[in-house]
Amino acid sequence: METLKGLKLDVNRIILELFIPGIFSILPLFFLFINKFPASREYFSQSEGMASLTLFILSLTAGLILEDLGSLFEAHILDSINLKKYPNHFKEW
């Protein structure tokens, strides 16, 4: 259990790093989907809880994908640029 004490799972991290970027990327697509398919608009207007749950799950999924893409960008592109500028970059970190 001591190894889990260092792992700080915080609600703020989930909201700031995953949910907010995810909701900004998913919400326009969700509105386009609802406008394109009138049956989905009727379904989500009858069941607001299902619409909220769907938006929440989609935004967390999009946030996870965006975070992974950002990590890959940082690891492959930015680290190679920093390695050229600062040869001791990995030793310092």
**Residue 19 DSSP class:** I
Q: Is 52 a member of any domain? A: yes
86 pLDDT band, cuts 50/70/90, is confident
Nearest-10 crossing angle of helices 20-36, 48-73: 130
- The predicted structure's pLDDT at residue 61: 93
Q: Is 60 a member of any domain? A: yes
Q: Is 1 a member of any domain? A: no
- The predicted structure's pLDDT at residue 8: 64
| Nearest in space to 24 (alpha carbons), one of 73, 68, 74, 58 | 58
Q: Is 6 a member of any domain? A: no
- Supply the DSSP string of 46-77, one letter for each residue: H-HHHHHHHHHHHHHHHHHHHHHHHHHHIIII
Q: What is the pLDDT of residues 16-75, one digit of tens each?
A: 888 889 999 999 999 999 999 999 989 988 988 999 999 999 999 999 999 999 989 988
3-class SS of residue 7: coil
Alpha-carbon distance of 21 to 3, in angstroms, equals 29
Domain containing residue 56:
11-92
Q: What is this structure's pTM?
A: 0.71
